[in-house]
C-alpha cells in the first residue's frame, strides 16, 4: 500500500514558495527574489506539514508518489498558490464600534483630537470593560473567520482595551479560548499600556502596568489561563514617553515576552533608536521615524511592521517604506485591524503598500508572509511554502499570483487551506 496524505493540489500555474532555502526573512533587494515553481504540485502530509513541492513531471518519477493516496485531491490548473498570509499587527478583541468617529474624522477631526476628548481608545475601553468573555469571544471568532477567508493563517493579536488588570486578563483569556477553537494561529500580545486610563497620569499608569498588570499576566500565564508572546506600548506624545515605554517594555522582556511596540506614529518619539537599544523584535507604524532610527533598526535587525491602513484612514503621510527597505530594515506588513482602521484583509494591505508606500508587488508579498512571520519569531513554520512548514496555502483564482493584489476589494481567492485542511468559505451561522 502507498503512503496516504492529507492534501494534494495538482498542476498549479505557479506555486509562489517565497523562499526555498529556509531563510528566516528577506532583506533589501532579496525581497524581489521570490522563489517560484511553475506548473507545480503541493503535497501536505497527514500532520499538516508540507511534504513535497515540485512539478508533476518530477514527482511522477518518484516511487512513493506513484502509489500515494490523498484525503483531498484537487486539480488547480490555471490557479496560483501562495503561502497563507501573516498579519503582523491587529487589535481584534473589542466590543462596540466607532463608525460615528469615522464620520468625525472625514469631517476633519484628527485622531488625537478625538482621543483627548475621551473618544478613540477611551470609547472602546469603556465598551470592552462592560462586555462579557462570551460576547468578546463571539466577536473575535467572526473577525478571525473573515481574516481566514481573506487568506490570513497567522495573526498577531493584542489586548489593550482594558488598561487595568482585570479587563486586560479577560482579553488575553479570550485570545486563548479563541486559539483553542479556531484554525488561525494567534501570536498574543499584552498591551496594558495602550493608553492612559481616565483619572491617571502616564507616570501612574506606567507604575500600574509594571508593578501590577505584568505580574498578574505572568501569574496567569504560569497557571495556563493565558499565553503571551509579546509586550507592546503605545509610545506617543501625551501617552507614554520614551522612559516610560522603556520601563514597561524592559519589564515585559525580563518576563520572557518579545518587544513589539507602537512607535513614531503621529509624532517623532525616537522609537527606532529606543527599539534598537532595548533589543526590540519589532516596531509598528513608524510614519514619523527618523533617519537615525532607520539606521539603528537596520543594524540591529529590528523589524518595521508597516500599517498602510492607518495613513489611508487618517489621511496622514505613510511611513517611508522605500527608504527603510533600501537602508536594510526588515520590513513586514499588518492590517492594524481596530475600530479606527476596520480592515481584515491582507490583500488590501498589500495593495495599499504598493500604491501608497511604493513597495513592489514582490516586496509586499514577502512583507505579508515570510517577514511578518519572522517579526513574530514564527518563520520556522510559517510564511513560505517549504517542506516541513505548515501546509497553509492560498489558492488564487487566476494563473498569476499578482491578481490577489491587483483586484481591489474582492480579492480572487478560490480556497484557503490551514495545515492542509480546507477552510469553509461561507458559514451558515453568518446568514
* Chain contacts with ligand NIG (rule: CB under 6 A): 91, 120-121, 124, 234, 262, 265, 310, 336, 338-341
**C-alpha count within 13 angstroms, C-beta hemisphere, residue 251:** 24
Residue whose CB is less far from ligand NIG, 106 or 425: 106
At its nearest, how many Å lie between ligand NIG and the CB of residue 274? Answer: 16
Residue whose CB is less far from ligand NIG, 5 or 261: 261
Distance CA 205, CA 317 (A): 30
At its nearest, how many Å lie between ligand NIG and the CB of residue 409? Answer: 21
- φ/ψ (deg, to 5) at 331: -105, 130
Distance CA 368, CA 332 (A): 6
Residue whose CB is less far from ligand NIG, 229 or 336: 336
At its nearest, how many Å lie between ligand NIG and the CB of residue 266? Answer: 8
Residue whose CB is less far from ligand NIG, 163 or 294: 163
Residue closest to ligand NIG, measured at CB:
340
At its nearest, how many Å lie between ligand NIG and the CB of residue 134? Answer: 22
Distance CA 390, CA 420 (A): 8
Residue whose CB is less far from ligand NIG, 159 or 310: 310
The owner of cell 532579496 is 30
How many CB atoms lie under 10 A from the CB of residue 225?
14
Q: How far is CA 162 from CA 125, 252, 403, in A?
A: 6, 17, 40
Q: Which helix (H) or strand (E) holds 243?
A: helix 242-254
At its nearest, how many Å lie between ligand NIG and the CB of residue 364? Answer: 19
Contact 47, 420 (CB under 8 A): no
Distance CA 422, CA 425 (A): 9
At its nearest, how many Å lie between ligand NIG and the CB of residue 132? Answer: 20
Residue whose CB is less far from ligand NIG, 176 or 262: 262
Strands 4-18 and 80-83: parallel
Residue whose CB is less far from ligand NIG, 89 or 149: 89
Residue whose CB is less far from ligand NIG, 152 or 338: 338
At its nearest, how many Å lie between ligand NIG and the CB of residue 338? Answer: 4
At its nearest, how many Å lie between ligand NIG and the CB of residue 431? Answer: 29
DSSP string, 257-320: PEEEEEESSSS---HHHHHHHHT-SEEEE-TT--HHHHHHHHHTT-EEEE-HHHHHHHT-PPP-
How many CB atoms lie under 10 A from the CB of residue 387?
15
Amino acid at each position: 500500500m502507498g503512503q496516504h496524505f492529507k492534501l494534494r493540489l495538482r498542476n498549479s500555474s505557479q506555486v509562489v514558495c517565497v523562499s526555498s532555502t529556509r531563510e528566516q526573512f528577506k532583506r533589501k533587494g532579496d525581497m524581489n527574489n521570490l522563489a517560484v515553481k511553475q506548473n507545480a504540485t503541493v503535497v501536505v502530509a497527514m500532520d499538516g506539514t508540507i511534504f513535497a513541492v515540485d512539478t508533476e513531471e518530477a514527482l511522477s518519477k518518484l516511487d512513493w508518489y506513484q502509489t500515494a493516496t490523498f484525503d483531498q485531491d484537487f486539480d488547480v490548473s490555471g490557479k496560483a498558490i501562495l503561502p497563507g498570509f501573516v498579519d503582523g499587527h491587529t487589535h481584534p478583541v473589542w466590543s462596540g464600534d466607532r463608525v460615528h468617529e469615522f464620520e468625525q474624522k472625514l469631517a476633519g477631526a484628527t485622531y488625537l483630537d478625538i482621543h483627548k476628548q475621551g473618544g478613540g481608545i477611551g470609547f472602546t475601553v469603556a465598551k470592552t470593560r462592560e462586555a462579557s468573555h462570551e460576547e468578546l469571544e463571539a466577536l473575535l471568532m467572526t473577525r478571525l473567520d473573515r481574516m481566514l477567508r481573506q487568506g490570513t493563517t497567522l495573526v498577531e493579536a493584542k489586548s489593550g482595551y482594558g488598561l487595568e488588570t482585570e479587563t486586560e486578563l479577560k482579553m488575553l483569556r479570550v485570545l486563548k479560548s479563541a486559539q483553542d477553537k479556531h484554525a488561525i494561529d494567534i501570536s498574543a500580545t499584552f498591551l496594558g499600556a495602550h493608553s492612559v486610563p481616565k483619572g491617571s497620569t502616564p507616570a501612574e499608569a506606567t507604575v500600574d502596568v509594571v508593578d501590577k498588570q505584568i505580574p498578574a499576566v505572568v501569574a496567569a500565564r504560569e497557571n495556563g489561563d493565558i499565553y503571551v508572546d509579546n509586550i507592546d506600548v503605545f509610545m506617543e506624545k501625551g501617552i507614554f514617553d520614551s522612559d516610560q515605554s522603556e520601563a514597561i517594555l524592559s519589564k515585559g522582556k525580563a518576563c520572557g515576552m518579545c518587544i513589539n511596540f507602537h512607535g513614531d506614529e503621529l509624532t517623532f518619539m525616537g522609537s527606532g533608536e529606543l527599539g534598537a537599544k532595548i533589543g526590540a523584535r519589532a516596531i509598528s507604524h513608524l510614519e514619523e521615524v527618523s533617519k537615525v532610527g532607520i539606521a539603528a533598526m537596520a543594524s540591529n535587525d529590528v523589524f518595521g511592521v508597516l500599517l498602510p491602513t492607518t495613513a489611508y484612514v487618517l489621511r496622514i503621510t505613510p511611513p517611508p517604506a522605500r527608504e527603510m527597505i533600501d537602508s536594510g530594515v526588515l520590513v513586514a506588513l499588518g492590517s492594524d485591524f481596530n475600530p479606527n482602521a476596520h480592515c481584515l484583509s491582507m490583500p488590501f494591505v498589500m495593495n495599499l503598500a504598493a500604491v501608497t508606500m511604493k513597495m513592489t508587488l514582490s516586496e509586499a508579498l514577502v512583507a505579508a508572509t515570510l517577514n511578518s512571520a519572522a517579526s513574530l519569531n514564527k518563520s520556522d513554520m510559517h510564511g513560505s511554502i517549504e517542506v516541513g512548514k505548515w501546509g497553509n496555502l492560498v489558492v488564487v483564482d487566476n494563473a498569476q499570483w499578482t491578481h490577489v493584489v491587483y483586484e481591489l476589494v474582492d480579492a480572487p481567492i478560490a480556497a484557503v487551506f490551514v495545515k492542509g485542511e480546507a477552510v469553509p468559505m461561507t458559514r451558515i451561522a453568518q446568514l
